[in-house]
Structure 1
């Protein structure tokens, strides 16, 4: 994504189904079908298992969470809070434009990296190369706690709390903090989290089960399966049928002119477009479409949702269990453990072994086979992607010029490949990932040794 637009998605704590490593890249020609994959946990959602965070890529503002070079081509551990040891006990991660977030312990949040818009939420504008605690919202004393999911993008951060409320911190030039106010790029906004308000602006927004941050336009999913959005809207990415910025949440319109989009189980927001996974396994999209990122076979913008086309433009995409969006491309995980992608492909970020733009979904290729199989989770970053297989193996593909693939070099690749750990460490089991603008975070079950 450009200037850090990317997305990260919904909240589900179900554990992935187990598959053997041998099933991860089987071709259909062997006559055996891989077992179905359970719906994945959303990017940024806190799981029950904890781990340590490894990062690679651009480190110009300390977004890798440690001192060192401006670019790190291999994955290495994040420093602990206070600059000592390693950051452990982590339940979720998220990558922003130039900063990073992690949920630790029982739901506290730590942050590191760029802080010129207050995106670290520590009450300052000072960059941090080691994690610092995010402060409590709305001027209260103490630390932000009770968090079950985080999302970040550009110069903006967002957290879902256990009570169904949402807090935001960072930039607010388009009203993206969702409290009815606007600021000049975040500098006039509070440097600590504030609570998102309900559409009437009189009380906190409640009943939220999932969040997805673009940094300019934000999405939330409510318990009733409806989607709300706010922030920048010049390309219709709020999905309310207008191009007017919104400083308070408004409902996303439904399919075929319906008043509200309903029956949604997952959400994702890219730079200038939104995605929603419906409970029947179809996907709706809306917003900017200059590079085919809406997946409907056209390059026309849409101010309200419509369905994503099937593979190769045939019919309607179905059988989807998870979604992820970047500014100009998207991924959909299907129940058979394969992944489809659509949109921009200049760096091979669609993973189909080409660099050809796709306005309708195509299948992500395997490292050695026609299809990548046995995928449990998939994540979209700016012009790159990452996947975690059901055995915990992490894979990456797309742009690698800043080391964001963790491949040990800066060469782009148009199909998934393995990552390299620093100091000769063996990759452990990956639990989740965060796709920053030009940096990658992997939450690993062990430090690797």
Structure 2
């Protein structure tokens, strides 16, 4: 069920990538940051959560409608970066850092300030906005859809939440539902909270609880039924609490550390030190420690083939997911593993046998007992069914009662099958390719197709002036926020009209336009380049001196032009005194 996913791989969660323009991914955002692309959905559509304008279930992938469109939609949502499918609603993180939502909206699950279900996407309102909202949530780097609540991680490292809150799922210190986003409290905050939660690098939303990764540890809030918050108790928490270390007892004085991935279903999972950990519900084996019992603090997941008590543990884990239907998934060396409930083939091992310790998921087309296994996996997720991403191809297994496997049927599958391509009907012979992100809802699925290569170039401009003189030194910095490398481009520095001359080692000055054109070369994601220009002014110059730097061209396309311009203001006080 999860959620959260960076932009949200429950799959690979690389914490701390937000600063480079990448999404810290957990549960629902199941893939590294990619160029924004088309959004697809399939499966159950009771409340319009597929976002295609109807409430008709779909056993083949369909395109999601654009914001504001109505069925039959002529315009489609084509700028999605990641997706999170909840039990009854779906969230999409868009290229501009805003969020779209569709589906069930009782108690404000969609965050648009109303309680009206939506069959096509609507924008999530800004914090504190009132419907009809004129301002919208922005600066978002990851989203997570729970059962009837939602989370978003902001570029500031803070978290906002909205929707149903009867069990404290919103983490704001109350049990009051919210129709628009509001801040999650700091650890152990008491309402009204005066300090927000900060320093968060990843989020996940389960059925009735939420997780956040911060400072190498895990924070949890909401329902603590059967110990899913991992604090050693079963006491619900309306604000974040720290997850205990393995073997700790409440009140805990040591806490889980070295965490690189998290996810939540009806239990919780994390990767710490490369080892899979789990806590909470455990009666169907979803904790993977062989005990078939609940645990209110984390336990290590056993290695495949070990016997209880386990002496070796599942290590080298690069992706992890908690399915709300009582199972867990992980990727080790590119191979998919599963454990827990095997209802309707949820584990994908060709059987219906529950597993208290990990087994490998069978390869597409294999026959039980399987001799070949699902490999080359880069993202994985699960709920009532499993989803995996292999080289841009989506595969699925498990329950298919509402078409959530996307193979054109409603036949349950104990072994993975390929997801059909868009435009197919019924059982298919053409398949979905070019997939960049996946997520499994309760009985639905969602994907984002990789768009064309793009590179978000951010521009900053600083100006400094000598203590006494008639010059200003301008430094224009271009930062590639990804997801792809740049090959070429230009940033133009428009100098103050009073400029008499300018010099630069890297930029070409045009005295007619009082501007300097600076070539942008190859820049890898996360890399920066700085261009310096010295402008001169006459000795009689006084008054404001404003310069503007603008990215005018770049290859590949810049998907986020909002950060393409920067301004620096100085003032000439006297002929020899310029203040910047």
**TM-score per shorter chain, which class?**
0.7 to 0.9
Contact 2:365 2:416 in 1 (8 A): no
Equivalent position of 2:302 in the other structure: 309
Equivalent position of 1:78 in the other structure: 64
**Bigger shift: 438-447 or 254-263?**
438-447
Is 1:362 matched with 2:359?
A: yes
Secondary structure at the aligned position of 1:125 is classed as coil
1:38-437 matches, within 5 Å, as 42=26, 43-44=28-29, 47-68=33-54, 70-83=56-69, 84-139=74-129, 142-183=135-176, 189-199=177-187, 200=189, 201-222=193-214, 224-257=215-248, 259-271=254-266, 273-279=267-273, 281-314=274-307, 315-327=312-324, 328-334=326-332, 336-369=333-366, 370-381=372-383, 383-389=384-390, 391-424=391-424, 427-437=432-442
Q: Distance in 1 between matches of 2:373 and 2:261?
A: 24
Q: Distance in 1 between matches of 2:92 and 2:6?
A: 16
The root-mean-square deviation of aligned C-alpha atoms, in Å, is 2.2
Q: Distance in 1 between matches of 2:35 and 2:11?
A: 10
Contact 2:440 2:446 in 1 (8 A): yes
Secondary structure at the aligned position of 2:432 is classed as coil
The TM-score, its normalising length taken from structure 1, stands at 0.87
Is there any run of 5+ residues in structure 1 with no aligned partner, and where? 17-39, 184-188
Q: Distance in 2 between matches of 1:164 and 1:422?
A: 36
- The alpha-carbon distance between structure 1 residues 125 and 14, as it changes in their structure 2 partners (threshold 3 A), is closer
Q: Distance in 2 between matches of 1:8 and 1:47?
A: 13
Secondary structure at the aligned position of 2:423 is classed as helix
**Bigger shift: 323-332 or 133-142?**
133-142
Q: Distance in 1 between matches of 2:135 and 2:55?
A: 33
What's the CA shift string for 1:137-192, capped at 9, x where partnerless?
13386100101111112111111011100011111011110010013xxxxx2200
- The alpha-carbon distance between structure 1 residues 215 and 169, as it changes in their structure 2 partners (threshold 3 A), is farther
Number of positions where the alignment pairs a residue of Structure 1 with one of Structure 2: 410
Q: Distance in 2 between matches of 1:47 and 1:75?
A: 22
Secondary structure at the aligned position of 2:137 is classed as coil
- The alpha-carbon distance between structure 1 residues 411 and 305, as it changes in their structure 2 partners (threshold 3 A), is same
Q: Distance in 1 between matches of 2:413 and 2:33?
A: 30
Report 1 or 2 for greater relative contact order, CA contacts < 8 Å, sequence distance ≥ 6: 1
- The alpha-carbon distance between structure 1 residues 229 and 215, as it changes in their structure 2 partners (threshold 3 A), is same
Secondary structure at the aligned position of 2:359 is classed as strand
What's the CA shift string for 1:8-49, capped at 9, x where partnerless?
456799998xxxxxxxxxxxxxxxxxxxxxxx9543277241
Q: Distance in 2 between matches of 1:10 and 1:254?
A: 25
Q: Distance in 1 between matches of 2:48 and 2:183?
A: 27
**Bigger shift: 46-55 or 208-217?**
46-55
Q: Distance in 1 between matches of 2:436 and 2:156?
A: 25
- The alpha-carbon distance between structure 1 residues 268 and 74, as it changes in their structure 2 partners (threshold 3 A), is same
Q: Distance in 1 between matches of 2:79 and 2:418?
A: 25
Q: Distance in 2 between matches of 1:250 and 1:10?
A: 22
Contact 1:428 1:445 in 2 (8 A): no
Equivalent position of 1:186 in the other structure: none
Secondary structure at the aligned position of 1:296 is classed as coil
What's the CA shift string for 1:417-439, capped at 9, x where partnerless?
11113424753300001211111
- The alpha-carbon distance between structure 1 residues 89 and 6, as it changes in their structure 2 partners (threshold 3 A), is closer
The TM-score, its normalising length taken from structure 2, stands at 0.68
**Bigger-Rg structure (1/2):** 2
Which structure's residues are more often strand, by fraction? Answer: 2
